[in-house]
Amino acid sequence: MAAVELPPRIRKQSIVENAEKARSDRDVLLQMGFSKLRAEKALASTGHQGVDIASNWLLSHLNDPTLDEVTPRDYIVYLCPTGPLLKQLQLFWYKSRAQTEWNLAHNYLPHITLCSFFKVPDNKVIEVARNIRVIADRMAAQMPQKLLLDYYNASNFIGIFLNKQNVPIMKQVINEFAAEAKKIGVDVEPHKKELHISLAYQFKSEHQKTLESLSKEIDLKSEAHWDLRLYSRDPRCKDKQVRRVRYKHKPQAPDELDLIHGDFIFADPADIEKSRDQWHLGTSWLTGLSGMVPLNYTECTSQTDMWTLHRSITMIGSDCGMSTLNGVQDGATPSSSHHHQTHVDKLMSEIPNNALYAKVNKVADHGACSRPSPQVHHGPRQIYIIRHGERMDFCFGRDWVLNCFDQSGDYIRKDLNMPKHLAKRVGGKHDFRHDSPLTTQGHHQAFVTGEAMHEKDIVISHVYSSPSLRCLQTATQILRGLKTSIPIRVEPCLFEWCGWYTNQMPKFLATPQEYIDYNINVDNTYKPYLPAKNLTTEESVVDLYSRSYHFTKQALHRHHADGENILIVGHAGSLEVCSRQLIGKTARSANDFHAIVRNVPYCGVAVCQEDKKSKWQLIESPILSFCHSDNKKLMPNLLEM
């Protein structure tokens, strides 16, 4: 007799089931030996994402001095846009940071604040999160189909205000939430100021016009869904500057903090500002431990990157009523903090937990967990100069641009060695004519080169690249092979000899969106040594040597204090012109220069090393060369002849 299958059941996850799950997670943690206070604190800190994440959080915080203190987290309710409007706001955040400086609006994701921060005991968090769902259901029928927005600009403040027509309904939402919270002993104070999204505030007066211009590019009529979200933060983070760890660091003194790549450090801005040696006191988000931190090993980031999302429900939009406990529903455009949430989960899950079921009510003597070996450069300072990988126009001829795009300007792949996808350029396909991308092989060459550097424990701390697309793609793949995410500094000084471009100079990637489309992580704050507009087709080879040498010296001087390695990704000539005068030799003649260039392979590597007398010399590359033969195209009629 054939087996009889059970019919599928339609299960509805209710609020009661959520509460029961939270209780069961706590009970499991109690059975594992954690105290009630620690179990509830871990679940609240991780957004009730389950036992695994909570237990990993506890293990990483075993030496946190506040672990056994009753310190409720700070909670806040935001109304956050998603969809096309959010993308425009994120682009404004990106451009404003790149073209001006960090201002206080950059500390947060795009949002409308509905209330002040409020405290919630750890054992009541699930009930407060439940109230977000209750209010959303209660108010659903009264919600408008769209929120109307008004642009506002004043001295030292630029923002988008909620139109007066929509203010009452949003005030009612937060008032009813406050009333529900009051029933369980939680005091919520609705926001008394006008409801708005802050685009920029507390910035320098000289940046006013630039910020105004950028902000006016935002289309306030763009489609948007609006999510009601409950966030929380560690109370110790209040009024602190948040910095993301870029490089690992193993303490070399008892008071130094062990830095884990991807962790967040929060610190008093005054301590950072008054530091004389670029070291400051900071606290690790991942472990709760405090210690001295080298400023140049971290970078400023948004405070909300470190927050925990507890509940998100779409209040306005086609997905109205969709909910998630710890993330964004399918189809929504996540904010940067949601990308961070996934990253945080990964960080926590990677922490060793071989003591997971030990009785850990008392702090272990040996510390929270073993940490990975830090990537710290030791020994003489080095500079790596690498040519880009195989380029499309040299492989398939310059006519590839004419053959690989349809009438609409969409790219069509004609060979496996061509990239699967090419994002559109501002100037259309013609921008590729003088600014060629890498082939598939070129991407592979660059990645393998970076991988080889990683296997040799080569640590790169600063990356500079020519603005050519092929160089930026090469730098990206090398960093991927190195297993690091250092932002690339785009430097026009590293472009090849302009004398090869008799008609016109290339049009490089110029807009933030283009860098995003090509997955190139650039340093938005970097100011080039030489603007691209200053490059001219009339330059001589002597001029090329001069600009390349002066930039290399400037970069080495800039990073002299930290003693770290530099990577330069450029062209065939870069290996020569960036190193020749650095090692004390004179520039070659034009004929000799061209002879050198013809013999530099794709992803060729030149390494210069500084000796004890601060003199530079060429040394043999520590990584193997990457040699391969040509692979011609098989002609269809070859076998019929």
What is the per-residue burial (b if ≥16 Cβ within 10 Å, else e) of 216-246?
Answer: eebeeeeebbbbbbbbbbbeebeebbbbbbb
In a 3-state reduction of DSSP, which class is residue 97?
A: helix
Q: What is the pLDDT of residues 408-455, one digit of tens each?
A: 889 999 999 999 999 999 889 989 989 999 999 999 999 999 999 999
DSSP structure class, residue 123: G
Q: How many CA atoms lie within 13 A of 264 on its CB side?
A: 22
Q: Considering the chain, what is the average pLDDT of its residues?
A: 86
Q: Which of 110, 55, 50, 106 is CA-nearest to residue 80?
A: 110
Q: What confidence tier does 4 reach under pLDDT thresholds 50, 70, 90? A: low
Active site residue 388: yes
Amino acid identity, position 301: T
What pLDDT does residue 241 have?
Answer: 95
What pLDDT does residue 12 have?
Answer: 47
Q: What confidence tier does 246 reach under pLDDT thresholds 50, 70, 90? A: confident
Which of 13-27, 178-192, 393-407, 509-523 has the lowest average pLDDT? Answer: 13-27
What pLDDT does residue 260 have?
Answer: 87
Q: What confidence tier does 326 reach under pLDDT thresholds 50, 70, 90? A: very low
Q: How many CA atoms lie within 13 A of 255 on its CB side?
A: 6
Active site residue 470: no
Amino acid identity, position 52: D
What pLDDT does residue 139 have?
Answer: 92
What pLDDT does residue 74 have?
Answer: 97
Q: What is the pLDDT of residues 603-623, one digit of tens each?
A: 999 999 998 888 999 999 999
Which candidate in 387, 391, 434, 454 is catalytic?
A: 387
Q: What is the pLDDT of residues 578-590, one digit of tens each?
A: 999 999 999 999 9
Q: Which of 475, 398, 410, 405 is CA-nearest to residue 435?
A: 398
**What is the mean predicted confidence (pLDDT) over 227-253?**
92
Q: Which of 266, 262, 290, 291 is CA-nearest to residue 351?
A: 262
**What is the mean predicted confidence (pLDDT) over 9-17?**
49
Active site residue 244: no
Do residues 152 and 159 touch, judged by C-beta distance below 8 A? yes
Q: Does the pLDDT value for residue 366 go beyond 70?
A: no
Structural domains of the chain in order of their starting residue, each with its CATH number? 73-341 (3.90.1140.10), 382-392+438-619 (3.40.50.1240)
Q: What is the pLDDT of residues 510-532, one digit of tens each?
A: 888 899 889 999 998 888 988 89
Q: What confidence tier does 487 reach under pLDDT thresholds 50, 70, 90? A: very high
Q: Does the pLDDT value for residue 346 go beyond 60?
A: no
Residue carrying the six token digits 């006013």: 208
What pLDDT does residue 351 have?
Answer: 41
Q: What percent of the chain has pLDDT over 70?
A: 85
Q: What percent of the chain has pLDDT over 90?
A: 63
Q: Does the pLDDT value for residue 215 go beyond 80?
A: yes
Q: What confidence tier does 321 reach under pLDDT thresholds 50, 70, 90? A: low
Do residues 381 and 608 touch, judged by C-beta distance below 8 A? no
What pLDDT does residue 477 have?
Answer: 96
Q: Does the pLDDT value for residue 389 go beyond 60?
A: yes
What pLDDT does residue 210 have?
Answer: 94
How far apart are alpha carbons 60 and 347 in whole angstroms? 10
What pLDDT does residue 317 have?
Answer: 78
| One-character DSSP codes across 238-271 | TTPEEEEE-S-B--SSTTB--B-TT-EEEE-HHH
What pLDDT does residue 612 have?
Answer: 86
- Between the CA of residue 179 and those of 22, 166, 188, what are the distances in Å? 23, 21, 8
What pLDDT does residue 490 have?
Answer: 96
**What is the mean predicted confidence (pLDDT) over 75-81?**
97
Q: Quick one: how far is CA 71 from the chain centroid?
A: 30
Q: What is the pLDDT of residues 447-461, one digit of tens each?
A: 999 999 999 989 999
How far apart are alpha carbons 167 and 437 in whole angstroms? 50
Strands ordered across the beta sheet of 157-162:
149-154, 157-162, 196-201
What pLDDT does residue 113 have?
Answer: 97
**What is the mean predicted confidence (pLDDT) over 528-544?**
90
What pLDDT does residue 20 have?
Answer: 53
Which candidate in 48, 111, 249, 571 is catalytic?
A: 571
**What is the mean predicted confidence (pLDDT) over 556-576?**
89
Do residues 398 and 72 touch, judged by C-beta distance below 8 A? no
Q: What is the pLDDT of residues 83-95, one digit of tens each?
A: 899 989 998 998 8
How far apart are alpha carbons 629 and 627 in whole angstroms? 7
Which candidate in 311, 381, 388, 489 is catalytic?
A: 388
Q: Does the pLDDT value for residue 23 go beyond 90?
A: no
How far apart are alpha carbons 580 and 352 in whole angstroms? 48
